[in-house]
Amino acid sequence: MFKIIKNFNWIILSSFICIFLGILTFLTFINEGFVPLTETNILILLSIDIILLLIFFYLIFRNFTRFYTAGKKNKSGSQTNFKYVSLFSIFTLIPSLIVAIFSLFIFNFGLQKYFDDQITQAVNNSNDVAKNYLEESKKNVKSDVILMSVGLNRASNFYYSNPQQFLRVVSAEKILRKIDDIYLIDSAGNILLSETGFSSEDFLVPGEETFDEALKGVPVIIPGNLENKTSAMIKLNSFIDTYLYISRNIDPDILNYLNETEKAVDFYYTVENSQTGIKVTFAIIYIIVVTLLLFLSTAIAITFARRLTRPIVNLISASESISRGELDAKVPVIEADEEVKKLNLNFNNMISRLKRQQVKLLVTERHEAWEVVARKLAHEIKNPLTPIQLSIDRLKEKYAAKIGEEKTQFNEYLQTINRQIKDIESMVNEFSNFARMPRPVVKKINLNKVINRSITFFKISLKSKISFKQNKKQNFIMGDEDQLYRVFINIIKNAEESIIEIMNKKPKYEGKIDIEILNNNDYIVTVIKDNGEGISDTKKVMTPYFTTKKKGSGLGLPIVNKIINEHSGEFVIKRDKGTVIEIWLPGI
């Protein structure tokens, strides 16, 4: 999942930018953003939204094109891959689109219902209730200021004769009318008397128009007063140039309610006036979000489909190669489910076994052909050797006494011919041995024992250091102990001869022959390494009669290879700072 997000970072970045600008446009429409609500700003924001939306769609289209183009590049299995990818994408896309369209419809329907007549009426009524409350408060203050003026006018004589008694009358009126602030002021706005629970600094001097209105003898609501107070003023006729000024505090909770109601009404009509733009903005935001989610879900579906189809495509490619006879083909190792990995591993093992069987078959056929050649050569060469040997003996008997001075030279010639005949006879015997090699007598044997026996045979004569590392004391196989003994004798002998070639050039050279037994699934692998000259051509050396030695017959390794093949094993030669030989034999 995180890998998919990393691959599409540009798309995700552009989508977030689009969403941010869409939200900014929405806030601007409702006049709640930091961008002023003007026609120019709205046009600029909408233009940027559309441009970014086009860029966003282009990036998505380009990536989808890349998906399907990459899927078609591989011809083998491309139809299967395209089919599964398309199906996964469609089954992801269709439900998402249905949900998206349904959600847009619900939003438009819900937004339209938001401006329903009943809701509009409820909003207006709420605003009217708030206004009526303020008007009712003003009416109550007007009534209270009239009643208080009557009481104070009656007690006007106390104002001059007994100020304390007049103050008690004022306090009583304040408590009776539940008034918070009472002031007696003159026409200049000077406070003559006050009965208030707050500082006189909160007192606001009424304007001249208010004084003029109060001179008419009617109560006047004082405009521009503090927001949390309702104030009224009236002329006291029993006093000289004196006005009664009262204030009643409005409950803070009521004030908050009034403010919130006013804001809600303003917001409602702002949204109503901009509903088309809001719908467009919301649609853009919604399309971006839905498209991004659709793209990511489709990308995940495509990735999942490819994860499913890629092993199938690889198997198809490998099977096509095998059908053409290319047994070196392998199914690539990829990150997949355990079952798919196991299938790929089994398929590769099957190809490897098929390859080994083909090699064994070819080697067997080659050996059979060389056996026929060796048998014929041995027969054709051996037949004239006996007459030649008899003729030499007769020449020696008949002419040795008659030759005088050249008798010594004559005998040397005869000895040379005899030596060559013996060499040819030895070669013929090797041909015969190769041609008449018996089939292995198979029985349960311990491979460790066979190798130790071979090492013991050479221990006294070896000039090199030989080591044998065995993973366990017993490694049982089904085989012919004598033939396998011959195999290891031949290999160790070749390794020693290869090291001696270097020792002849470098007398102080330390030769090493390392033998190690490993387990590989059903096979026991014997690895023999030496630090000698190494084999120049690891392919030709397996060909009968090919040799780089002066007196070699070229049949040693072919015989070894034949014995290993007849034991259902595999003989491998490698060159690595010397020679590395691997002998694979089935374990039991």
Taking only the tens place, the pLDDT of each residue in 178-195 is: 888 899 999 888 888 888
Determine the average pLDDT of the residues in 421-444.
73
Distance of alpha carbon 244 from alpha carbon 229, whole angstroms? 16
At residue 112, the pLDDT reads 55
Task: Give the three-class secondary structure for 516.
Answer: strand
Give the position of tokens 């060796």: 374
CB atoms near residue 290 (< 10 Å): 17
Asked which of 261-265, 266-270, 584-588 is least confident by mean pLDDT, the reply is 266-270
List phi, psi (to 5°) of 414: -65, -40
| Packed helices 9-29 and 39-73: angle between N→C axes, nearest 10 degrees | 160
C-beta separation of 496 from 464 below 8 A: yes
The pLDDT, as a whole number, for residue 199 is 55
* Other CB atoms within 10 A of residue 362 CB: 10
Most confident range, picked from 82-86, 229-233, 316-320, 351-355: 229-233
- pLDDT grade, residue 367 (50/70/90)? low
Q: Which amino acid is it at 442?
A: V
CA atoms within 13 A on the CB side of 566: 21
pLDDT band, residue 583 (cuts 50/70/90):
very high
What's the rounded Cα separation, in Å, for the pair 571 and 107? 76
CA distances from 101 to 104, 108, 404, 588 (A): 5, 11, 125, 68
Strand partners, 505: none
Cα gap 452→474, rounded to integer Å? 12
To the nearest whole percent, how much of the chain has pLDDT over 70? 66
Q: Write out the H or E segment, with its range, that includes residue 231.
A: strand 229-235
Q: What is the CA angle 10-11-15, rounded to 5? A: 115
Of 236, 224, 232, give the one whose Cα is nearest residue 248.
232
Q: Residue 451's pLDDT band (boundaries 50, 70, 90)?
A: very high
Position 585 scores a pLDDT of: 93
Position 256 pLDDT exceeds 50: yes
pTM above 0.75, yes or no: no
Asked if residue 30 lies in contact with residue 270, where contact means CB atoms within 8 angstroms, the answer is yes
Tell whether the model's pLDDT for residue 1 goes beyond 50.
Answer: no
Confidence (pLDDT) at 196:
78
User: In this structure, which amino acid lies at residue 480?
Assistant: D
Whether residue 13 has pLDDT greater than 80:
no
CB of 258 closer than 8 Å to CB of 200: no
pLDDT tens per residue across span 544-555:
555 655 555 566
Four-CA torsion 285, 286, 289, 292, nearest 10 degrees:
-110
Q: Kind of pairing, strands 579-586 and 229-235?
A: unpaired
Q: pLDDT tens for residues 163-182?
A: 889 888 888 888 888 888 89
> Among candidates 479, 492, 489, 469, which has minimal Cα distance to 447?
479
Residue 556 makes CB contacts below 8 A (sequence gap 6+) with: 490, 493, 494
478-507 mean pLDDT: 90
Q: Is the pLDDT higher at 421 or at 120?
A: 421
pLDDT band, very low/low/confident/very high, at 480 (cuts 50, 70, 90): very high
Q: For the chain, what percent of residues have pLDDT higher than 90?
A: 11
**Is residue 568 a contact partner of residue 532, using CB atoms and an 8 Å limit?**
no
Residue type, 574: K
What are the residues facing 574 on neighbouring strands?
Answer: 580
What is the C-alpha separation between 60 and 54, in angstroms, rounded? Answer: 10
DSSP 75: -
The H-or-E segment that residue 366 falls in is: helix 338-399
Task: Give the position of tokens 């050249």.
Answer: 406
* Average pLDDT of span 8-18: 71
**Torsion 455-458-460-465 (CA) sign:** negative
Under a CB-based contact definition with an 8 Å cutoff, are residues 567 and 362 in contact?
no
Looking at per-residue pLDDT, the higher value among 473 and 291 belongs to: 473
Look up residue 587 and give its DSSP letter. Answer: B
Asked if 68 and 82 touch (Cβ cutoff 8 Å), the reply is yes
User: How many Cα atoms sit within 13 Å of 250 on the Cβ side?
Assistant: 23
- Under 8 Å between Cβ of 470 and 448: yes
How far apart CA 290 and CA 288 sit, in angstroms, is 6
Q: What is the mean pLDDT of the chain?
A: 76
pLDDT score at 581: 93
What phi and psi values does residue 259 have, to the nearest 5 degrees? -65, -45
pLDDT confidence of residue 467:
92
Structure tokens belonging to residue 344: 């790929």
Six token digits for residue 217: 């003898």
Side chain identity at 586, as an amino acid letter?
P
pLDDT for 459 equals 80
